Amino acid sequence: MMVGSYISRGLLTDVKELRFWCQYWILVAGLTVFERLGDAFISWVPMYGVKLRWPSIYTYGFQKLRPYIARHEPEIDRNLLELRTRVGDMVVVNWTKAAAYGQTRVIDTLSHGIKEQESKEQQYQKTANQNSRKLF
């Protein structure tokens, strides 16, 4: 609260200006995160680094492919939509499998811990009974 009052009183007196800078920094943070995640997912693509270094070669190649792409655009769009659907289905299936596997592993770990605890308690009771018999 103290920082908010300091900003609103001292540095920025206009609410619109404060809103503008908040939106700006939120956008910068979002783009930074998107860039890092995108680089992690796209950097494995072959020739990705070359494409970043020599964009004019790819622009020239695209100019040559433009008529082909224009002719087959509906088919390309349909295939991309189908690919997107398949990937979505695969993500759902694999996420379900991963969740089931994780649940199984957690239950196995907890049951193993309970069994270990019970065996330690039984050992403790046996040694306590043996020690009490020695005393009498």
Q: What is the pLDDT of residue 21?
A: 84
Do residues 103 and 97 touch, judged by C-beta distance below 8 A? Answer: no
The pLDDT value given to residue 13: 62
Whether residue 39 contacts residue 50, with contact meaning beta carbons closer than 8 Å, is answered with no
Please give the span between the terminal C-alpha atoms of the chain, in angstroms, as a whole number.
70
Taking only the tens of pLDDT, the chain with its 136 residues reads 445 555 555 555 678 888 888 888 898 898 888 888 877 777 666 655 555 555 555 566 667 777 887 888 889 889 889 999 999 999 999 999 999 999 999 999 999 989 988 888 888 888 877 777 665 5
Q: Which of 105, 127, 125 is nearest to 117 (CA)?
A: 125
The structure's pTM equals 0.39
DSSP letters, 72-132, are THHHHHHHHHHHHHHHHHHHHHHHHHHHHHHHHHHHHHHHHHHHHHHHHHHHHHHHHHHHH
